Amino acid sequence: MGRVAAARAVLVALVVLGAPPAAGAELSEVFQEMVKSECHFINGTDRMRFVKRFIYNREQYAMFDSDVGVFVGDTPYGEKVVKYWNSDAEWMEYRRAAVDRHCRHNYELSIPFLVGRR
> Which pLDDT does position 76 carry in this prediction?
95
Higher-pLDDT residue of 50, 6 = 50
Range 31-115 has CATH code 3.40.50.620: no
Residues 7-66 pLDDT 10s: 566 555 555 555 555 556 666 677 889 999 998 888 777 788 999 999 999 999 999 999
Cβ neighbors of 42 (< 8 A, separation 6 or more) are 48, 49
Domain locations in the chain? Answer: 31-115
Residues 52-104 pLDDT 10s: 999 999 999 999 999 999 999 999 999 999 999 999 999 899 988 888 888 88
The model carries a pTM of: 0.67
> Among candidates 63, 34, 35, which has minimal Cα distance to 49?
63
User: What phi and psi values does residue 108 have, to the nearest 5 degrees?
Assistant: -60, -40
